Every structure is written in structure tokens, then in C-alpha cells.
Structure 1
């Protein structure tokens, strides 16, 4: 899973097949403990998959890029929702924050690419209606 603009030999990749989660990152220090785990947290109401924990995220140093790709279930979208209204969301102190994401309809995956670590360590693929909320 390449990160655009980075040499693949500098990219560390982690996969958790059972929930369809992949993370690729470029960082100065990636601890041996870093990885992915199925989360025990309650998913948000608009979740389209199970939450995933980024293990030892706080131990990453000199982060240049993080790419999070999650498989989602399109049948869980609300009636009338666009199949492109899906985002990677990260759990923060007061809820879930959608990240700027790209949807692959053929693979039913959603991907977020960041230039730093995400603001939380639990992520999920979810229905993102923030554009509708902004219009109201």
C-alpha cells in the first residue's frame, strides 16, 4: 500500500485482515509494538465497520505520513445516502471526527492520508454527512 510521494522502501505497513484494516506510515521511529488491533470500543451510530485501534500510536516519532485504509459495508449506509459519503473517522475526546478521505467503490474501502499522526488512536469507517450539516 503505497503512500504517494514516498519511496516504498521507507514505508512501514501493517494489516489486520479480520477487519479489513491497513495502515502504512513513514516515520523516523516506528516502535516494534506498533500495529493494529480490533477495538473493544463502541462504534458510533453511523459506523459501517468495526472500530480498529492503532496500537502504540503515541510512540511514533518524526511522523511524515500516515495512510489508513478501511473496508466498509455499503449495505449499512442509510437509505438515500451517496456511496461516496464515507470517511475514516477518528475518536477524539468529544466524539468521532471524520478525516478527509477517498472512497474506492470497487474495493469498498475508504482511505485517509495524513501528514502527521491522527488526533486519536481508534478509527472506523463511517457515514459522513458533514457536508449536509454545513449546508443547514
Structure 2
């Protein structure tokens, strides 16, 4: 899973296929302990995928890019919801915060590309009906 603008040889890739999650990282230091695991927490009510935890996220150093790609279940969208209102959301201390995301309707995946670590280590694909892509909240 390449990150546009980066040499494929500089990208570390991780997958948790059972949860439909993939992460690609370009960073000066990616610890050997970095991995994806199923989150032990319950997902938010508007989740469209299983929550996944990015283990050892805080140990990444000199981050240039992180690409988080999650498969989602479109049949879980609320009636009348737009299939483009799906976002990668990160769990913070207070809430689930949607990240600026891109949806691939054919492959039913949503991805977010960041230039720094997200504000939390647990992520999920969720329905985002807010008008604000960054900083809105999934309930």
C-alpha cells in the first residue's frame, strides 16, 4: 500500500486482514513492536468496522506520513445516509474524532493520510454526518 509521493522502499506496511485494516508508515524510526491489533473497546454506535489499535504508536519518531486504510460495511449505514459520509475516526480521551478521509465506494474502504501521529491509537471506520471533516465527532 504505497503512499503517494514516497519511495515504496521507505514505507513500512502493516496489516490486520481479519479486521480489514492496513497501515503504511514513513518515519525515521518505526519500532519492531509496532503492529495492528483488534481493540478491546466497544466501537462507537455509528461504527462501520471493528476498532483497531495501532500498538506502539507513541514510539514512532520523525513521522513523515501515516496512511490508515479500513474496510467498512456499507450495509451498516443509516437509512438515507450518503455512502461518501464515511471517515476514519480516532478515539481521543473525550470522543471519536473523524479525520479527513477518502472513500473508495467500489472497494468499500476509507483511508486517511496524515503527516503526524493521530491524536489516539484506536481507529475505526464510521459514519460521519457532520459538515466538518476534521474535528467533528462520531457519536
TM-score normalised by the chain length of structure 1: 0.96
Q: Deviations over 1:76-103 (max 9, x none)?
A: 0000000010000000010100000000
SS of aligned partner of 2:125:
strand
| Distance (whole Å) between structure 2 residues aligned to residue 19 and residue 105 of structure 1 | 18
Compute the TM-score of the two structures, normalised by the length of structure 2. Answer: 0.94
Alignment of 1:89-128 (within 5 A): 89-128=89-128
Unaligned stretches of 5+ residues in structure 1: none
Please give the alpha-carbon distance, in whole angstroms, between the structure 1 residues aligned to 2:116 and 2:8.
18
Residue 130 (structure 1) shift: 1.1
Q: Cα RMSD between the aligned structures? A: 1.0
Is 1:44–2:44 an aligned residue pair?
yes
Corresponding residue for residue 31 of structure 1: 31
Aligned-pair CA distance for 1:124: 0.1
What secondary structure sits across from 1:14 in the alignment?
A: strand
**In 2, Cα distance between equivalents of 1:80 and 1:101:** 20
SS in 2 for 1:131: coil
1:31-63: per-residue Cα shift (whole Å, max 9, x none)? 000010001111001000110000000000000
Identify the residue that residue 78 of structure 2 maps to in structure 1: 78
Structure 1 ranges of 4+ moved more than 3 A = none
Residue correspondences, number: 133
Structure 2 unaligned runs (5+)? none
Secondary structure (helix, strand or coil) at the match of 2:131 reads helix
